[in-house]
Chain A
Amino acid sequence: MPARNHNQWIAKPPLQQGEWIDSRIYSEQGIFNDEIEKIFKHVWVPVCHESELPEAYDFRTTSIGGEPIVICRGPDNEIRAFLNVCPHRGMLIERRPAGSFLEGQPSGNPKRMTCMFHAWQFDMKGNCVYVAREKEGYQDRLCKENVGLRRLRCEVKFGGFVWVNMDDNPSQTVEEWCGEPFECLRESLDAEPLEVFHYHKAIVDTNYKLWHDTNSEFYHDFMHYHNRITGFNDAYFARKNFAYKNGHVVVGTFEVNYENYEGFESRAELSFPKLPPNQWYMVDLFPGFNFNLRGSALRCDIVTPLGPDKVMIEFRGLGLKRDTPEERITRINHHNSIWGPFGRNLHEDLIGVAGQGATMSPGTEPRRILHGRHENETIHDEIGMRHYYDEWGRWMNRMPSEPDKAYAPPAVAAE
C-alpha cells in the first residue's frame, strides 16, 4: 500500500477486535493511575530473591505502586514484608536499599527497625517494641500495642523469589496465581537453592507494558543478530507459546546453538538441574514480570511503573548457590554475553521500547498497535500479547482497543 492520508492512517485495520489495541493505554495518566490501583495493588509481585537477605536481620527495601516496602528476615528465619512507613508521623523507616538490622543505628538499638526521627522501634515481626517517652506523652491513651507496622502478604516461592501482595485478601495464593506457568521450570528452580549474582536497573521513557510485550513476543528476534544466528531454524519456528489463566504466557523451549555466534560457547555443561542442555524457557507473568532460563543462567525482570511513559526495570541474574567460583564465573559470562548491560541483546531491547515510548508519549495522537499475527501459536504468533491484553481489559474494565469503553470479550478468543 502506498503511504496513507490521515483518514486512511486512523482507519481501523482489517483485523478482528482483540488483534490490535489503542496506544492511549500506553500514554494516558488516568489509565496509568487506574492500573496502579486496580492491578498493581492486587497482584503478587516478585520483589527480590531470598539470597539478597541471607542472614537473620538482613533487609531489602522496595516499593509497589509507589508504596514503600521493607522486607526482612527474622531470627526465626522467616521472611516478612511491611509497609516501610512509621506509624508515628510517616517517616520512611529504612532508607537504604539493603543491609542488616543486627547493628544499632544512631537513633536505635541492635536487632530493631528504628525510625530515626523520634526513635520508635520495631522487631522483625513488625511489633512496635519501643515508643520514646511513651507514658509521658500518651499516658494510657495509646501504647506500643496500638502502633505496630502494617504487615503485607509475603511468600517465598519458585526458586526462592520473595512475592509480596499489597492486598490483605488476595484472591489467589502465589501457587494459584502462577503455579501453572511455572510448571515448566519448577523442577529446575526448586531442585536446590539459587543465588543472585547480577543486579542492574534501567529507567526508560516508555510504558511498562511495552517492556513486557518485548519479553512476550519473539517476532522481534529480527532485531537481534545473536538470536537470528543462534536460533532461526526449524525447531525455533516450531516453538510454541502457551497461554495460562491470569494473563500469563510461557514460551516453550528449543535447543539454542550458541556456538554459531563468534566467540560464544555452548552452555550444556552448566545447565540448571533437570534442564536438558541449551534449552530456553521463558515465563511471562501478568502484569510485568519475566523469568527467563537459558541453560546455565536465570534472568528475572521486574517492572516498576513510574508513570504512563516511564518505567524502571530491575534485572537480576541467578545461578546455583553451590556453584564453585569457576562455575559462577562461567554462568556470569553466559548471562552477560547477551543479557548484561554490555551484552548483545538487552541494549537492543531497550532501544526498541524507548522508540515506542517516543511515538506514544502523552499527548501524541492515538495509534493502533497490531497484535494480529497468527502462526499456529508458534514463536512469531502474537498470541502472548492478545492473551495479556484481554486479561488487562478484565482487570481494568476497559477495552484495550477502545479504552473509554467497558470491557467485552474480544471477537477472536484470546486463546
Chain B
Amino acid sequence: MQANGHDKAAAVRDTIYRAALALDDQRWQDWLDLCAPVFHYKITSFSPEINKDMIYLQGTRKEMDSMVRMLPKHNTDHSPLHRHTSVYTVNVADDGKTAEAVSSVVFYQNMLDGNNSHIEAGETRLFLAGRYVDTFQIEDGKAKFVGREVKLDNRRLDKGSHWPL
C-alpha cells in the first residue's frame, strides 16, 4: 500500500473507533457527525429458521437522526450497551476517495435494570455479536461513513435493543 493509502486506512480506522466510543457513550449526534449526508444504516441478520436474509432496522441519516432525537420520549431499559470493535480489513479504493472496512463487533450489556436491579446491576453480559461492514468517503484526510451494515449473528434479542448499534 502506498504511504498515502496507509494514511487513509488509518483515517478509516480512526472513524470506526471514534464511532464506537460515541455509540458507547450514547453521544448520538457525535456519531452522526461522523456520517456523510448520504449515510445509510441498517441492522441485518440471516435466519436459518425462515431461511431469509432479514433487515431488523434501516434508515437514512435523516431517519436515524429522528430516531435518536425521539429516544427520550420512549421508555427504555437503562442498561448501557458497550462494544468491543476490531477492524479486520480496510480496503481503500485506487482513487483514494472511498474505502470499505470490515470489523468484528461484540456488544456487552452492562446491567443497570436487569430484571431485579438489586441482584443484577453491575454485571456485564454478552448481548449481541456480529460484524460492521462499513463504507466511507475520504476527503481532506478524514473518513466519513457512507454506509454501515451491522450484520448480527443473533435472532434472539431480549429487552435492551432499543438503540442504534
The docked-state distance in angstroms from the alpha carbon of A199 to that of B155 is: 7
The docked-state distance in angstroms from the alpha carbon of A20 to that of B160 is: 31
The docked-state distance in angstroms from the alpha carbon of A202 to that of B127 is: 12
Residues B74 and A225 in contact, CB atoms below 8 Å apart: yes
**How many A residues have CB within 8 A of the partner chain?**
42
Could you say which of A141-149, A162-170, A334-342 contacts chain B?
A334-342
- Per-residue CB proximity of B54-74 to A under 8 Å, as 1/0? 111110001100110110011
Q: Is B38 an interface residue (CB 8 A)?
A: no
Given contacts A225-B74, A332-B55, A60 and B49 within 8 Å (CB-CB): yes
Residues B50 and A196 in contact, CB atoms below 8 Å apart: yes
Could you say which of A23-31, A116-124, A346-354, A375-383 contacts chain B?
A346-354
User: Could you tell me the distance in whole angstroms from the C-beta of A396 to the nearest C-beta in chain B?
Assistant: 26
Q: Select B56's contact among A51, A226, A340, beta carbons within 8 Å.
A: A340
The docked-state distance in angstroms from the alpha carbon of A381 to that of B10 is: 60
Q: Is A239 an interface residue (CB 8 A)?
A: no
User: Could you tell me the distance in whole angstroms from the C-beta of B64 to the nearest C-beta in chain A?
Assistant: 10
Given contacts A225-B74, A347-B76, A358-B116, A341 and B56 within 8 Å (CB-CB): yes
Q: Say what secondary structure dominates the interface of chain B.
A: loop
Of residues 66 through 89 on chain B, the ones whose CB sits less than 8 Å from some CB of chain A are 66-67, 69-70, 73-77
Given contacts A263-B67, A354-B115, A347 and B57 within 8 Å (CB-CB): no
Q: Is A235 an interface residue (CB 8 A)?
A: no
Given contacts A98-B51, A197-B54, A199-B49, A351 and B161 within 8 Å (CB-CB): no
The docked-state distance in angstroms from the alpha carbon of A343 to that of B67 is: 10
The docked-state distance in angstroms from the alpha carbon of A52 to that of B76 is: 33
Chain B residues at the A interface, C-beta cutoff of 8 Å: 43, 45, 47-52, 54-58, 62-63, 66-67, 69-70, 73-77, 113, 115-116, 155-164
Chain A residues at the B interface, C-beta cutoff of 8 Å: 49, 51-52, 60, 96-99, 196-205, 223, 225-226, 261-263, 316, 329, 332-333, 336, 340-344, 347-348, 350-351, 354-355, 357-358
